[in-house]
Structure 1
């Protein structure tokens, strides 16, 4: 009994000492960096809170981010604009390798880091963003709220435009829910048909500049768009594009877009993508995607793997309609790249999207298009008559005509891409870099 009493006293002292010193919890961010470039990493504070445990009283001023023994600069952006630390805010850092995030239940002194970017207003109402770290990387936030990439290294020219532009078409006066009447058709984009409700360019930090733009549609009542763009000092722009429905809408198109990648700087730039897992143009021609592009001189082998590569301004004489490709499976990345400038900009997904099991689900979900120098991802439900007699696609015509997507109050659709400005000495090197870069982005995991 005597020994037990001593043990109880010692444990009590240890517990009081631990309480006085505070408790800490550590999260691990696992990722690969096989492309040789730091990875832009961001998590909402809600994600951190859930991973740490809701019962732990986090003091956000105590937060530390490290890669190995090195302290990493980080920033917390007030994305929801409420002026305080909250669930919708984001922490961001550039990771050279696996990272640990440590927090305490005791308040600390929040670190201060110099800004890695500079923002200045332009005469046309835009905000110019210049990286202090990546030489020659510049971007602009237009007065309409969308980001464009305007330079990398010695190439100071438009490299990507209208990141997050929304294309929406459908029947804004539809009473289909009542009497099956769709009414007249309209087609608009963010820039020519949405009303900008608010635009906030947040202060430059040690990692990035965050931009929050919110829009409403005057035509489709209750349709709202929020574009959050994060311009990283490393030369990349992360874009989240979310459409929320607060009313009923009948739509034929709902697509995220990026425009004029690299072709303004070099009209001979190439369009490159992994070989599609599904392509309606090839099915119509009774070919595989590899056969379809090989016949057009647009198939390239790199490292024993086939890729699609062609001059971006060449539409390749498609089997039907005018889009270079349409009803194509979304892959992990696609890019426009200039061998002459040794410069490219890629649209990279955070993992290869799953492929729908049949054409009905495929057409009703995200698909890829490349048309009018626009990278489009999303819903496209107009059906060409050429597909009526194709075995793989003929069941599409069992659907009503027009075959609309019905959206109800509370529905939402979102897209998330990284637009990566990069340099590579040749096409083969660009492809190798993007395969590794896409794998690196897909590898990001947060755990405790």
Structure 2
């Protein structure tokens, strides 16, 4: 009897002194992916609290949901570089105690098979399939009932600049100008073990053309069709760059010939400024405006250049907006590119042109720096003198340690109409922009 009493007191002591910490995660009412580095999570925990990671749980609106901790550094224990990955919506929380617990094991959502130079990713339930090439770039080959190449080369780099520029020393741009898409050699590539939520791919690449330019590409393919991309361009030495862009190629088109390009109306478009009209009026002249919920959206055939004012791109020197999408009514499928925040447009035109802008050309979504300033800028009074037409003044100049980072959510979805697609993406993008952890 005495022994039972001691045991009871011991259990009671554990119950009294065991503590837990809850980290709030807030999103909107549509599911969005979360990829959180464990080192960042640790910084959110009070210094006097020693977490036992075996006790970690993720609760979404009060219910436990599957999650995964990815062993990024391969040391077979939870450490700072590892990632906590889950899908959140509404009010969620990450809960961890200071006492050990039997870790919950959830069934994996994907099978991953290495095939010569690529990896084949298949959801266990058959809802999504993808291929990872030998440079860590993802191609989606199935979503739901649609089996086709729906998007390719997610996160591929497009860069251009002046090879071996010494401008900062002697005012000379260097040997010659180089431009390339994907001419990077692999430093390291990992396709992480699939979990109950996603498959992670981590690629570190070095430019073959530009000394000291490194690309760090982290991609997560989620079971719900979300693809979260964190792409960093890291400069290890001085560089004069004309383009530093993150791209995806062939989104939905050419899989479906009726594919439409859809996005909110630009806040700034060089061509509209040159004509002294608004971006809305520019697209209205091309019969490319559709209203949904009393809001105008640009909608046009994805393969149509839409009579650009000059140059061949469908649009260029355009403000980055909250999202853009290619969508096929015939296939009832689309993919949306969603930004984590709506970029501010500086009043200073040159400052805006020095930053990231959007380009849609050759069936590619292109995000980032584009510094080829054509003579057409000075051909229109509205943009005359906004930027120097001297080639030596055009590049963005990066020094060792500078980083250009693009975080993007590419979300596959099903919809029957443009209106249905727009309503879904607006809700999804709002949820993604509202995602806050630990606040």
TM-score by length of 2: 0.93
Give the CA RMSD over aligned residues: 2.0
> 3-state DSSP class of the match of 2:303?
coil
How far the C-alpha of 1:122 sits from its partner, in A, is 3.4
1:150-185 deviation per Cα after TM superposition (whole angstroms, max 9, x unaligned): 111221000001110111100122111111111210
How far the C-alpha of 1:90 sits from its partner, in A, is 1.3
Separation (CA, whole Å) in 2 of partners of 1:237 and 1:252: 28
1:71 match: 64
Q: Is the 8 A contact 2:164 2:211 kept in 1?
A: no
What are the residue-to-residue correspondences of 1:143-292 with 2, within 5 Å? 143-183=134-174, 184-190=176-182, 193-292=183-282
Closer, same or farther in 2 for the Cα pair 1:80/1:349, shift >3 Å?
A: farther
Match of 1:60 among 53, 56, 64: 53
Q: Is the 8 A contact 2:89 2:431 kept in 1?
A: no
Question: Greater CA deviation, 350-359 or 316-325?
Answer: 350-359
Separation (CA, whole Å) in 1 of partners of 2:278 and 2:197: 44
1:414 match: 405
Separation (CA, whole Å) in 1 of partners of 2:286 and 2:75: 54
Q: Within the alignment, does 1:21 sit opposite 2:17 as a pair?
A: yes
Separation (CA, whole Å) in 2 of partners of 1:365 and 1:214: 24
More strand by share: 2
How far the C-alpha of 1:392 sits from its partner, in A, is 4.7
Closer, same or farther in 2 for the Cα pair 1:349/1:81, shift >3 Å?
A: farther
How far the C-alpha of 1:66 sits from its partner, in A, is 1.4
Closer, same or farther in 2 for the Cα pair 1:365/1:79, shift >3 Å?
A: farther
5+ long unaligned stretches in structure 2: 1-8
Closer, same or farther in 2 for the Cα pair 1:80/1:413, shift >3 Å?
A: farther
1:6 match: none
1:47-80 deviation per Cα after TM superposition (whole angstroms, max 9, x unaligned): 2112222342121111111124421111011234
Match of 2:434 among 429, 443, 447: 443
2:425 match: 434
Separation (CA, whole Å) in 1 of partners of 2:381 and 2:53: 58
1:346-389 deviation per Cα after TM superposition (whole angstroms, max 9, x unaligned): 11111222222221111111100001111001001111211114
What are the residue-to-residue correspondences of 1:39-188 with 2, within 5 Å? 39-122=32-115, 125-133=117-125, 135-183=126-174, 184-188=176-180
Closer, same or farther in 2 for the Cα pair 1:283/1:57, shift >3 Å?
A: same
5+ long unaligned stretches in structure 1: 1-12
> 3-state DSSP class of the match of 2:136?
coil
> 3-state DSSP class of the match of 1:287?
coil
What are the residue-to-residue correspondences of 1:222-371 with 2, within 5 Å? 222-371=212-361
> 3-state DSSP class of the match of 1:171?
strand
1:73-124 deviation per Cα after TM superposition (whole angstroms, max 9, x unaligned): 110112344544222221111225321211112222221111011112335x
Separation (CA, whole Å) in 1 of partners of 2:170 and 2:37: 43
TM-score by length of 1: 0.91
Question: Greater CA deviation, 94-103 or 299-308?
Answer: 94-103
1:167-222 deviation per Cα after TM superposition (whole angstroms, max 9, x unaligned): 110012211111111121000122xx111111110011000000001101132111
